[in-house]
Amino acid sequence: MDVVGSWQAKASDGISATASTVPGHDGKALRLDWDFAHVSGYAYVRRPLPITLPDNYAISLWVRWSGGTNNLEFKLVDESGENVWWVSRPDIKLKPGWQKLVFRKRDVEFAWGPATDKVLRKAASIEFVVSRGKDGGRGSLDIDQLELTELPTVAATLPAPRLNAPDGDSALAMDGKPATIWSGKGPLTIDFGGAKEFGGVVLRWASPPPDYGIETSINGSAWDKRRTVVASDGGSDPIALPETEARYLRIVPVASARLAEVEIKPLDWAATPNAFIAALAREAPRGTYPRGFSGEQSYWTLIGTDGGAASGLIGEDGAVEIGKGAFSIEPLVKVGGKRFSWADVKATPSLAQGYLPIPSVTWDGPGWTLEARAFSDPAIRDGRMMLRYVLRNKSAATVTAELLLAVRPFQVNPPAQFLSQRGGVSEISRLRWRGGKLEVSGAGTPVTVVQPLSAPNDLAIARFDSGDALPTIASSAKAGVQSRDRRNWTPALAGEAVVDETGLASAALSYDVALAPGEARTIDLAVSTPGKPLAPVASTAAFDAAERATIAYWRDRLDRVAITVPPGKQALADTVRTSLAHILMSREGPMLRPGTRSYARSWIRDGAMISEGLLRLDQPEIVAAYADWYTPFIFANGKVPCCVDFKGADPVPENDSHGEYIFLATQLYRYTGDRARLNRHWPAILGAERYMETLRAETQNAAPMLRGLMPPSISHEGYSAKPQYSLWDDFWALRGYKDAAFAAETLGKAEALEIALNRDAFQVNVHRAIAAAATHFKIGYIPGATSLGDFDATSTTMGLDPAGEQSRLDPVLLAGTFDRYWRDFIARRDGIKAWQDYTPYELRTVSAMIRLGKRERVDPMLDFFFADRRPQAWNGWAEVVGKNPREIRFIGDMPHAWISSDFIRAALDMFAYERADDGALVLGAGLSDAYLDGPGSSIRGLRTPHGDLDLTIRATPARLLVTIGGMARPTGGFVLPWPWRTMPRGATINGEPARFTTGVLLIPATGRPITVEVSR
């Protein structure tokens, strides 16, 4: 390596990094030392190094690693410094001593940046980065002999392979050409005539050996043992050999065999376990594999406890994922010689009582139904999954059936999901039946115990090479292999363990069922949290008791605020309560998280907005615990980390975070009056405000549309390619300044006046920047970023709430923003405007329309968004919704707790919201005739910063009737907007005459019940 002076070592906040030289593999080596302390982040070395990349290349280096399991990244950066290509090795585990790493062209991926051309041709600098992974701690990375080697392009086609077998073999068929069977006892060697890249092989046997090995070689003398096949069941054996480059392939049977054909598969066929299974799924009947492997988008919902770390998923097709990243249990039914999978039935999802987080899927088959129901027992500290299967005869004749509950190496979280937690395959490498329970584990992963409350009539466990453990599947997991009967199952004897190096083992519990007309049979399972001991369920009666207790727990938790609406609008009330459950199940202890898979971290952005919804739904203890938990992660300089997880605080600058933390801490005080807690949080509030001042100073000399704002950041996902001057950041910062001033005044702090002046100055900057950007870009709306002039009404909602700037925003630009959004919404809804997907964060715009007095827009918007709950009965949204429900895409966590909170706040705003300027509570501003007619609508126990509120509002042909109760005494009183275009004829408040002014009725807050009657 070059001298250390060519390299610069840097690290993120709270992490140390140093560069030095040490004795290397061949001379001197570069060393990067790091100490992650107690935070998340990264350490790196970087140097300028102009490189022109050839058409095909390999970058090799020798490395030596010490320390725990962390992430290794190699980066190439272009001349602009904005576009990055990388090789990322998360949670890498390197052997002791020096070892060689080789990164080929296909390993180098575009990471981020604004470039439209993603092909890397030239780089200006390189970086080696170690980011916080599983272990963190201290460590070092030594790097030596960094080399770029031009490689020849591997030939797409080579001469016909030559076969070399010792026992008088015939010309074996290759890649689908007419077959001539090879027979022999010794090894069969295939010479491709040159280096060949491939991803695996399919061996089609006429008579297989029970066991055999697969070896590869680049030179014919040194051989790598790639796979050992155990107990092959014959037919077609698909063998995954990812990232293989070899000239020779050797098959080493341990007994005589007859092989008909060898098919060589391309690199992408088995590049990953998910790619391998997807390839098999393409050749298998629909229903053999989960929907996500079969080219169809699937949907799911959460199974969990309130604040429990462990959670499962249930898919719309009835499979249940036992824990994060864990295997699933999938039902199948065999009736009249036909097997029924998810592909052969109509599946109907539901929730207990329409809103409780106890989901079910009911299959409707010919003459029978199967209900799969799941819940997590809140009485068990570490969680315990409870699964119930009810097979019912709905015909007039006796039904004889076989119910199979298959333990399969697949998550419900589908393979298209990739952030944080990769969906798809979940390794099962070991299965054991012991003591009437099935033990399931992967290599290096904890054991999960499955307890059937009633013993199965039969049970099978199978290695992948032996075929799937499901005799009712027409084609097994191995494409081309016909269904086997029970004589070929591997019997699961007590204490016997099956070990599978592929990680694709499976098992099946089989129940023989004979049902008279109308009769049902119930099968119950209890499943441990992975890695935790199982608390056994003693009996069906104990299972029933646990389910009743779970129902009681969730009703108590979710019904603190009661919403009553006409039957046609019941979905709104149910979805509010289910959304609350999704938030509670997504959190881990005090940590509020937007999800449990892709987004299993706590962003202060999500947490602050979720907390506001929780406070309104009378869950202050959760918000208090979250604020107390997050505060210690704030950096010493006052910087509020954008997110926190088990690794610690993330240092990535997202300049909305500081205002969001201040908002969280002060909203908690407004709703609870807990002055002592606000005082404990004061040092962090002041630190965050001071840090915002340092950020604001960075832009004081910029152009008017950028001056004095928060600097560019990537807090807005749309700006992840290149940081921008996002008004999302500025609106949150302004709210932070306002709340810091409020906290200082409330606590009598000496800094109160200074913070108020900072607030006022920043407020001027924000409005000046909006006006300047509108002029510069010649736009008639408020931009998403003043550096771009882009349109983003969903982000602009922050200007109304929580920033509270509605009355100060330019009314022309404000109207232009949300009128344009409305026109675009209608065009999308009506199919006039083409679209592919959207994010239900747009639910925030419902709140904006309510505040803007656009009541008539609320119902059409909610109807559109409600139709995209998938499935609707589970009352939840994915982060991304596609127009074509079955088109595969990344959809984020489902349910997504931040989106749940967006909906909750919009739904509650329909009944009451606080007006920023005077603290008035505006009542019923989002309720249409559908909510007012007949029995009308009511809300009980709604929490506000001014006390709890009860509201009932209904309309008759002659009058509008409103009753206001609870202890709320808003400083600006109550405001009742008139719902119709016609003018009211007269009004009374508690029998005294009152008068509407400019379409609203001002109602003094007296602390006593209020009755309002308005003649239409």
Fold equal for 562-914 and 921-1015: no
Question: Which pLDDT score is estimated for 162?
Answer: 67
Average pLDDT over residues 498-507: 94
Average pLDDT over residues 563-585: 98
pLDDT above 90 for 579? yes
Q: Are residues 142 and 64 in contact, defined by beta-carbon separation less than 8 angstroms?
A: yes
Query: What residues does 510 pair with on adjacent strands?
Result: 404, 458
The whole-angstrom separation of Cα 193 and Cα 220 is: 11
For residue range 728-768, what is the model confidence (pLDDT) as tens digits? Answer: 999 999 999 999 999 999 999 999 999 999 999 999 999 99
| Lowest-confidence segment of 309-313, 448-452, 508-512 by average pLDDT | 309-313
Separation in Å, CA 311 to CA 306, 425, 582, 990: 10, 17, 11, 51
pLDDT above 60 for 479? no
Question: Which pLDDT score is estimated for 261?
Answer: 86
Q: Take residue 642 and report the two structure tokens written for it.
A: 């954008």
Question: Which pLDDT score is estimated for 154?
Answer: 57
For residue range 347-364, what is the model confidence (pLDDT) as tens digits? Answer: 999 999 999 999 999 999
For residue range 904-939, what is the model confidence (pLDDT) as tens digits? Answer: 999 999 999 999 999 999 999 999 999 999 999 999
pLDDT above 70 for 809? yes
Average pLDDT over residues 461-475: 67
The DSSP output letter for 802 is T
Question: Which pLDDT score is estimated for 857?
Answer: 98
Question: Which pLDDT score is estimated for 159?
Answer: 60
Radius of gyration of the chain (CA): 32
- Supply the CATH classification number for the domain 162-271: 2.60.120.260
pLDDT above 50 for 846? yes
Question: Which pLDDT score is estimated for 842?
Answer: 97
Question: Which pLDDT score is estimated for 179?
Answer: 52
Beta-sheet pairing, 921-923 with 974-977:
parallel
Average pLDDT over residues 571-592: 97
Is 4-150 a domain of CATH 2.60.120.430?
Answer: yes
Question: Which pLDDT score is estimated for 96?
Answer: 87
Question: Which pLDDT score is estimated for 938?
Answer: 98
For residue range 763-785, what is the model confidence (pLDDT) as tens digits? Answer: 999 999 999 999 999 999 999 99
For residue range 153-198, what is the model confidence (pLDDT) as tens digits? Answer: 655 555 666 666 655 454 556 665 545 566 666 788 889 888 888 9
Average pLDDT over residues 849-865: 98
Separation in Å, CA 369 to CA 59, 276, 695, 885: 58, 33, 62, 25
The whole-angstrom separation of Cα 680 and Cα 671 is: 16
| Options 1.10.150.20, 1.10.3720.10, 3.40.50.300, 1.50.10.10; CATH of 562-914 | 1.50.10.10
Question: Which pLDDT score is estimated for 230?
Answer: 87
pLDDT above 50 for 491? no
CATH class of 295-553: mainly beta
Find out whether the peptide bond into 242 is cis, omega within 30 degrees of 0.
Answer: no
Sign of CA dihedral 284, 289, 290, 293: negative
Sorted by where each begins, the domain ranges of the chain are 4-150, 162-271, 295-553, 562-914, 921-1015
Average pLDDT over residues 962-984: 96
Q: Are residues 527 and 322 in contact, defined by beta-carbon separation less than 8 angstroms?
A: yes
The whole-angstrom separation of Cα 452 and Cα 30 is: 57
pLDDT above 80 for 262? yes
| pLDDT level of residue 956 (50, 70, 90 thresholds) | very high
For residue range 81-92, what is the model confidence (pLDDT) as tens digits? Answer: 999 999 999 988
pLDDT above 80 for 496? no
For residue range 617-661, what is the model confidence (pLDDT) as tens digits? Answer: 999 999 999 999 999 999 999 999 999 998 899 999 999 999 999
Question: Which pLDDT score is estimated for 488?
Answer: 35
Average pLDDT over residues 441-448: 87
Residue 948 CB-half CA count within 13 A:
13
The DSSP output letter for 529 is P
Phi/psi at 578 (5° precision): -65, -40
Write down the residue that tokens 């115990």 correspond to. 449
CA nearest to 844, candidates 862, 830, 856: 862
Question: Which pLDDT score is estimated for 481?
Answer: 32
Question: Which pLDDT score is estimated for 187?
Answer: 86
Find out whether the peptide bond into 895 is cis, omega within 30 degrees of 0.
Answer: yes
Q: What percent of the chain has pLDDT over 70?
A: 93
Sign of CA dihedral 798, 802, 807, 808: negative
| pLDDT level of residue 480 (50, 70, 90 thresholds) | very low
pLDDT above 60 for 132? yes
pTM (predicted TM-score): 0.94
Question: Which pLDDT score is estimated for 155?
Answer: 55
pLDDT above 70 for 485? no
The whole-angstrom separation of Cα 629 and Cα 611 is: 13
Cβ-based neighbours of 944, under 8 Å, separated by 6 or more = 616, 671, 912, 914, 921, 968, 970
pLDDT above 50 for 482? no
pLDDT above 80 for 3? no
Write down the residue that tokens 């509605």 correspond to. 806
CATH class of 921-1015: mainly beta
Average pLDDT over residues 809-821: 98
Write 740-745 long-range contacts (CB < 8 A, 24+): 740/662, 740/666, 740/685, 740/686, 740/688, 740/689, 742/666, 743/662, 743/665, 743/666, 743/669, 743/678, 743/682, 743/685, 744/686
How high does pLDDT run on average in the chain?
Answer: 92
Sign of CA dihedral 779, 782, 786, 791: negative
Separation in Å, CA 696 to CA 664, 693, 701: 21, 5, 10
pLDDT above 90 for 473? no
DSSP collapsed to 3 states, 456-525: CCEEEEECHHHCCCCCCCCECCCCCCECCCHHHCEECCCCCEEECCCCECEEEEEEEEEECCCCEEEEEE
SS3 152: coil
Question: Which pLDDT score is estimated for 180?
Answer: 54
